[in-house]
């Protein structure tokens, strides 16, 4: 496993404003020279429809290469963006009101980042620049899911083997939640998202106005990512695929170590970990409670007060932070999650810092919002409807070049883990409108954020087991009791942290749409290098 060579310093930097001329001494490749908290957090604009398609609102999203300032003292950085912005514009939709989105690839034909052609799906015979958009957590038909092989090239001149159309229909049938749309191209997802192809998609329900949550300018999406830079401010990424890649600089909504000026009132934040591999265990210093009201798939049953929130790549947390009565105070959002997670190196003095909140704005209007005690969670899969318990394994082995290869698989006839790659025959074939329990059996040393397309599930529990015995004899022997999911995990989820040496149990209902989808680890270096499998839902 790799790490970002973090050390164990624990200092939290204070806001810094360099003297005149100091920007000439800022080196984007050296985080120690980069002033923190000098740029405000940019808030993505909301995308507007351009018309209608078959009576439904039609949106257009064009992928473009642009230059964008990611820090006050950096030269403009070349990035890729939906509608030419990194992150892209937010799409807001209403439950039960379908929309359609036409995606256009107008990127250059040469990739912004180095392409490792030894990776399956990124071979030299394929076009370097290919894109396909996945609405993450979307309850959508298979032909609008953003299949990894349904890619298009610049100008839509070449199509991947699973291409059907670049016009996607999103029915918006599910409960309101924080979704996001991002690239999902086989073999180069890590590169396309790292280049900037990610954005929020907020699904709302007009009935939720009765919850009296902070809204309007007091509800803000925050996308967390890490990046590394070359001395000229360009994005730095390795030429060959790594087991994981961790940047040395944190960004929020595409800005390096920004600040947010807030009023002394309650705010609602939609937190998203959109990093390639970095986990974020977030807290505020000085200590201030964070009230989580929702997760990946919508609301929890009730608000959960927390001193810290752990987010794996692709996980979201819908939270309220109450700054009431704190005028003049400042709070630094910090992160103490090791890399790789959970057994890696602690963050250094720079990767430990995420952003700062400053309670410096006067109260503009009275705050009539509240932190509700009861929330409209669910509906959850019913255990009495379970038709099958399915064992799937998380494994590691070396590839033909001696590199660590993370894989998904099943148990063979003798009960031992059987690693499988993308090209192997499909083994996950649930029936439509049935409930299954999946047991994720993690034989590796890493926590893997496992994401299933199409569905939302309920995390039941996690239980430690004897890894060596399973691998040698095929016996699944538990070494401790099952531990129920944490209180802030008890809503619907689409991504689950499967911890090393544990069996993680999920209850999943497969409904609405048959067809071929995928399930995978959302560490992007793993997903790109075979830790992804087909999921065929049969009618």
Mean pLDDT of 32-51: 98
pLDDT digits (tens, 9 = 90+) for 254-272: 999 999 999 999 999 999 9
Segment 223-251, tens digit of pLDDT: 999 999 999 999 999 999 999 999 999 99
**DSSP letters along 481-502, please?**
--EEPPGGG-S-BSEEEE-TTE
List CB contacts of 400: < 8 A, sequence separation 6 or more: none
- The Cα diameter of the chain in Å comes to 70
Please answer whether residues 283 and 39 qualify as being in contact, where contact means their C-beta atoms are separated by less than 8 angstroms.
no
Query: Which whole number is the average pLDDT over 19-26?
Result: 60
Confidence of residue 399 (pLDDT cuts 50, 70, 90): confident
Residue 7 reports pLDDT greater than 60: no
Task: Encode pLDDT of 328-384 as tens digits.
Answer: 999 999 999 999 999 999 999 999 999 999 999 999 999 999 999 899 999 999 999
Distance, in Å, from the CA atom of 3 to the CA atom of 435, rounded to the nearest integer, reads 38
Of the pLDDT bands very low, low, confident and very high (cuts 50, 70, 90), residue 20 is: very low
* R_g of the chain, CA atoms, integer Å: 22
- What is the rounded average pLDDT of the residues 524-539? 98
What value does the mean pLDDT take over residues 55-72?
98
The bridge status of strand 266-273 relative to strand 259-262 is: unpaired
Q: Is the pLDDT of residue 25 over 80?
A: yes
Higher pLDDT pick, 78 / 5? 78
Per-residue pLDDT, 24: 65
- Please report the pLDDT score of residue 313 as a whole number: 98
Query: Domains in the chain, start-ordered, CATH in brackets?
Result: 51-207 (2.60.40.420), 211-359 (2.60.40.420), 383-537 (2.60.40.420)
Whether the per-residue pLDDT at 159 is higher than 90: the answer is yes
The number of beta carbons lying within 10 Å of the beta carbon of residue 196 is 30
The 10 Å CB-count burial string (b at 16+, else e) for 129-144 is: bbbbbbbbbbbbbbbb
Name the pTM for this structure.
Answer: 0.95
Q: How confident is residue 158, by pLDDT bands cut at 50, 70 and 90?
A: very high
What tokens were used for 123? 């071979």
């Amino acid at each position: 496993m790799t790490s970002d060579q973090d050390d164990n310093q624990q200092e939290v930097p204070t806001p810094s404003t360099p003297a005149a001329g100091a920007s000439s001494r800022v080196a984007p490749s050296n985080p120690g020279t980069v002033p923190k908290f000098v740029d405000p957090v940019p808030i993505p604009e909301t995308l507007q429809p351009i018309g209608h398609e078959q009576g439904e609102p039609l949106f257009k999203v064009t992928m473009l290469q642009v230059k964008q300032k990611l820090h006050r003292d950096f030269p403009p950085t070349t990035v890729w963006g939906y509608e030419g912005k990194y992150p892209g514009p937010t799409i807001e939709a209403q439950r039960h009101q379908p929309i359609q989105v036409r995606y256009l690839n107008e990127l250059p034909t040469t990739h912004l980042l180095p392409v490792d052609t030894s990776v399956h799906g990124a071979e030299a015979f394929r076009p370097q620049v290919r894109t396909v958009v996945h609405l993450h957590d979307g309850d959508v038909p298979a032909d609008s899911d953003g299949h990894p092989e349904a890619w298009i090239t610049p100008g839509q001149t070449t199509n991947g083997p699973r291409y059907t159309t670049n016009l996607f229909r999103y029915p918006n049938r599910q409960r309101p939640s924080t979704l996001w749309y991002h690239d999902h191209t086989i073999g180069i997802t890590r590169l396309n998202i790292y280049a900037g192809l990610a954005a929020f998609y907020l699904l709302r329900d007009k009935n939720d106005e009765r919850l009296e949550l902070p809204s309007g300018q007091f509800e803000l999406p925050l996308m967390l990512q890490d990046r590394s830079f070359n001395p000229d401010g360009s994005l730095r990424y390795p030429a060959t695929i790594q087991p994981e890649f961790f940047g040395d600089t944190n960004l929020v909504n595409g800005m390096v170590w920004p600040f947010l000026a807030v009023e002394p009132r309650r705010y609602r934040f939609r937190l998203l970990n959109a990093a390639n591999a970095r986990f974020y265990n977030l807290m505020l210093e000085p200590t201030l409670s964070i009230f989580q009201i929702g997760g990946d798939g919508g609301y929890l049953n009730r608000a959960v007060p927390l001193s810290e929130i752990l987010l794996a790549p692709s996980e979201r947390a819908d939270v309220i932070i109450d700054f009431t009565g704190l005028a003049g105070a400042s709070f630094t959002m910090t992160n103490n999650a090791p890399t790789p997670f959970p057994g890696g190196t602690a963050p250094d003095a720079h990767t430990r810092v995420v952003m700062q909140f400053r309670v410096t704005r006067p109260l503009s209007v009275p705050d009539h919002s509240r932190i509700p005690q009861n929330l409209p969670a669910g509906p959850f899969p019913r255990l009495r409807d379970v038709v099958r318990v399915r064992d799937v394994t998380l494994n590691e082995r070396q590839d033909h070049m001696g590199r660590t290869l993370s894989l998904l698989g099943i148990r063979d006839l003798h009960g031992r883990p059987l690693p499988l790659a993308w090209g192997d025959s499909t083994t996950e074939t649930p029936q439509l409108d049935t409930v299954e329990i999946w047991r994720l059996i993690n034989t590796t040393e890493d926590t893997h954020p496992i994401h299933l397309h199409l569905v939302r599930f309920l995390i039941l529990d996690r239980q430690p087991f004897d890894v060596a015995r399973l691998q040698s004899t095929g016996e699944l022997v538990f070494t401790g009791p099952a531990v129920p999911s944490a209180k802030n995990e008890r809503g619907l989820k689409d991504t689950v942290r499967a911890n090393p040496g544990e069996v993680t149990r999920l209850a999943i209902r497969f409904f609405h749409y048959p067809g071929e989808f995928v399930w995978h680890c959302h560490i992007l270096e793993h997903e790109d290098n075979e830790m992804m499998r087909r999921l065929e839902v049969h009618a």
